Amino acid sequence: MSADDATTPPLAFSGQRLDWRDLPRSVRTRIAELAGAQVTAETSATTGFSPGFAAVLELADGQGVFVKAVSPEQNPESPELARAEVRAAAALPPQVPAPALLWSDDDGDWVLLGFEVTPGRPPLLPWRPAELDLVLAAMDTLAEAEPLPGHELRPTAETLAGDFTGWRTIAERSGAELAALAARTGEAGAWVLAHLDRLVAWEDDALEACAGTALVHGDLRADNVMVDHDHEGGRVALIDWPHASVGAPWLDLAFMLPSVAMQGGGDPQDLFWDRPASKGVEHERLRAAVAGLAGYFVHGALQPAPVGIPNLRRFQGAQGRHAVEWLRALA
């Protein structure tokens, strides 16, 4: 990470997308069969990190469908994430503002998902206050939702058990590695080194802090949101649900705010306590969850880039710096 990377956080990145003609002929044929009409045009998604194919397809019958298609060739983990999104779609109650899954297909190699087309666009970045207010209001609705009966979602603590170990892993590094880490953590680097023991202790409480019965998206950022200003008063859709789980109702708000700060939306501390989902949240519980998140981002930013997602580590590093700054306010 260069000095420019450290001082100019990224606003948005995307994975390496496939175009319609990049898909095997058999996959294109299967998509047309599932959609019920031939494909006449495509508009590729411009945000998000998932590699593979993601586009709105215009059909010969005048309809449209948003299609995701992925195989292990793009990224070994992406097919399982697509399968998880199918399970998540079956768990979403009607009050949650999310596009409906129309169909899916899985031949063991390619996983295909077809969603209703969501009108609108991603939020403008840096965040505009009016659009941020709309998104936060949608998250207020999400915080009150629970998954449908019979769902297959796991508890959030289970899904994050392998991720919320960043500070403990970092604390086991050598002195030279820790110095390099401090340099990548920005102005808070010295504070991180001086408080590693406390960070590890807070992180140890993070999974317990995530417990609850609410529906948790688990990966909300500007690139997983659509804003429709043509709808009266504005309307928001929350998209991309492969990390959905069951946990505390305030988690999505807390987990999104470092990216909001990174993208010019304001201070996480002020934004969090201003929302209904924060009511009754114990300070120590929030601190533990933010510690787990910050450690995940900071440690993740030090790893090699995943296959097909070259920009992810820089994006994680920028979020990590803002999460650490929030953690300092909660110390």
What is the residue-level pLDDT of the chain in tens, covering all 331 positions?
233 333 344 555 555 679 999 999 999 999 999 999 999 999 988 666 677 899 999 999 999 999 999 999 988 999 999 999 999 999 999 999 999 999 999 999 999 999 999 999 999 999 999 999 999 999 999 999 999 999 999 999 999 999 999 999 999 887 777 777 777 666 788 888 889 999 999 999 999 999 999 999 999 999 999 999 998 889 999 999 999 999 999 999 999 999 999 999 999 999 999 999 999 999 999 999 999 999 999 999 888 888 877 888 888 989 999 999 999 999 9
Q: Which two tokens stand for residue 264?
A: 């010019």
Last residue of a domain, which of 86, 115, 144?
115
- Polymer length in residues for the chain: 331
On the 0-12 / 13-18 / 19+ scale of CB atoms within 10 A, 307 is middle
Instruction: Tell me if 162 is assigned to some domain.
Output: yes
Regarding beta strands 214-216 and 225-228, do their DSSP bridges make them parallel or antiparallel, or are they unpaired?
Answer: unpaired
Same domain? For 181 and 303 the reply is yes
Same domain? For 131 and 261 the reply is yes
Same domain? For 174 and 197 the reply is yes
Radius of gyration of the chain (CA): 20
Instruction: Tell me if 5 is assigned to some domain.
Output: no
pLDDT, tens digit (0-9, with 9 covering 90-100), for 247-262: 999 999 999 999 999 9
Same domain? For 208 and 226 the reply is yes
pLDDT, tens digit (0-9, with 9 covering 90-100), for 203-229: 999 999 999 999 999 999 999 999 999
Supply the CATH number for residue 80's domain.
Answer: 3.30.200.20
Domains of the chain: total = 2
Same domain? For 125 and 107 the reply is no
Instruction: Tell me if 7 is assigned to some domain.
Output: no
Instruction: Tell me if 89 is assigned to some domain.
Output: yes
Same domain? For 148 and 84 the reply is no
Phi–psi pair at 172, nearest 5 degrees:
-90, 0
Supply the CATH number for residue 268's domain.
Answer: 3.90.1200.10
- Domain of residue 43, residue span: 17-115
Same domain? For 164 and 286 the reply is yes
Instruction: Tell me if 105 is assigned to some domain.
Output: yes
Token pair 């606003």 is found at 11
